[in-house]
Amino acid sequence: MSRIFRSDEVAPGDRVVVRRSHNDVIGHVQHIDESGIAIRPQKVGGFVSSLPEVWIPSEDALIIKRLSPRTVRNRDIRAIELATAKAFPGIEHTWCGQWLLRAGDGITERSNSAAPLGPSAMFEPVPVDEIRAFYARHQLPARILIPERIAKPAEALVQDHELGPEIVVMLRQLDAIRPVALEGFEFRIDDQPDAEWLQMYHFRGKPLPAHALELLRTRIDGQMGFGRLVHQGETVAITRGTISDHYLGYSAVEVKQAFRRRGLGTALGQQMLAWGQAHGATQAYLQVIASNEAGIRLYRKLGFEEHHRHRYATLS
């Protein structure tokens, strides 16, 4: 089993698989200590059940691995990653067999990495030489995206290469969206961002150079919307929404320091979800670094749940 995803400690409530010599048990952790682990076997789909707990002594648990909160299909992981690629087209997209090679601003990984998004990528060798040549031509480091489960050859390849942080891809259905207006704040969405919107945006806490900001507003394979909350004529919160393949991509969330902890992030998110639903999106996704606990709490309030994880690796 891969150890590059969910390698942190198992805790009560986690959905796990416990491998024993004679079979595996998949379910939710009720209790764990040095003597063993108590698992409640899951319902179909990965949901919590009311079945009796199974006690597994430590000496019988060969491997314990955390899983995604719900059962997901490989094709759904691939579909979300493809929708993301369409939302961030960058400068060049080129298919090399089962891999999509992407070059853009040279900063954000999702615009500057090779992604195993063909249906047979998990069964074929990684085209390392072609990936290196593509990024050498763009004068960029050779970087690959590794979505869990659909990139087994890449997982094996990168064990000795530089790995980025785990990124959680979260998903929710777009149904029954009822945004709540905040008194004194106006929601607005535009086809293109203005200077005030662009000035607020940061990538992982750092401002982007002009060429990267320009790519953020470039035409995509789908529809874009640049949302904001305005208070007394001042833009105080922003976000970017993209719609491709009936998925709403929710990203670029920023709230000005003086307006944080006032529910603006939740209100802005609700408005963007409603906008996506009104424009034909049926599901929404977002990405957040696994260590960003505050961000994950916010997105859970908006109805998102972890779908899968991915990481980036730089080929040395």
Q: What is the mean pLDDT of the chain?
A: 91
pLDDT at 205: 67
Cα(162)–Cα(4) distance, rounded to whole angstroms? 12
Q: Mean pLDDT throughout 200-216? A: 70
Q: What mean pLDDT comes out for the span 35-50? A: 94
Mean pLDDT of 86-103: 93
Structure tokens at 51: 């079945």
How far is 118 from 97, CA to CA, in rounded Å? 8
Strand partners, 312: 145
Q: Does the pLDDT at position 9 exceed 90?
A: no
Entry field: residues in the chain: 316
Is the alpha carbon torsion for 132, 133, 139, 144 positive or negative? negative
Q: What value does the mean pLDDT take over residues 203-232?
A: 79
Distances in Å between the alpha carbon of 232 and those of 186, 253, 264? 9, 20, 15
Residue at token pair 């050498």: 136
User: 172-310: which CATH architecture?
Assistant: 3-Layer(aba) Sandwich (3.40)
Location of each CATH 3.40.630.30 domain in the chain: 172-310
CATH T-level fold of 15-66:
SH3 type barrels. (2.30.30)
Q: Does the structure show a pLDDT above 90 at 178?
A: no
Q: Is the pLDDT of residue 213 over 70?
A: no
State the average pLDDT over residues 296-310: 93
CA 257 to chain centre: 25
Predicted TM-score (pTM) of the model is 0.89
Give 182 or 208, the one with higher predicted confidence: 182
The ranges of the chain annotated as CATH 2.30.30 are 15-66
1, pLDDT greater than 60: no
Is 181's pLDDT higher than 70? Answer: yes
Is 17 within 8 Å of 65 (Cβ atoms)? Answer: yes
Q: How confident is the model at residue 2 (pLDDT cuts 50, 70, 90)?
A: low
Residues 6+ positions from 45 with CB-CB distance below 8 Å: 70, 71
**What percent of the chain lies above the pLDDT cut of 90?**
72
Structural contact between residues 161 and 169, judged by C-beta atoms closer than 8 angstroms: no
**Tokens standing for residue 45:** 């789909």
Query: Residue 105 to residues 27, 113, 115: CA-CA distances in angstroms?
Result: 42, 11, 16
Confidence of residue 212 (pLDDT cuts 50, 70, 90): low
Q: Please give the residue that has the higher pLDDT: either 181 or 204.
A: 181
pLDDT in the model for residue 108: 83
Lowest mean pLDDT among 6-15, 159-168, 201-210: 201-210
> Which string of b and e fits 242-258 if b means at least 16 CB within 10 Å?
bbbbebbbbbbbbbeee
Q: Give bridge partners of residue 25 from the DSSP assignment.
A: 18
Per residue in 56-81, pLDDT (tens digit) is 999 999 999 999 998 999 999 999 99
Tokens 């659909």 sit on residue: 150
What is the model's pLDDT at position 202? 76
List the end-to-end C-alpha distance of the chain, in Å, as a whole number. Answer: 24
Q: How far is CA 74 from CA 110, 147, 286, in A?
A: 19, 10, 18
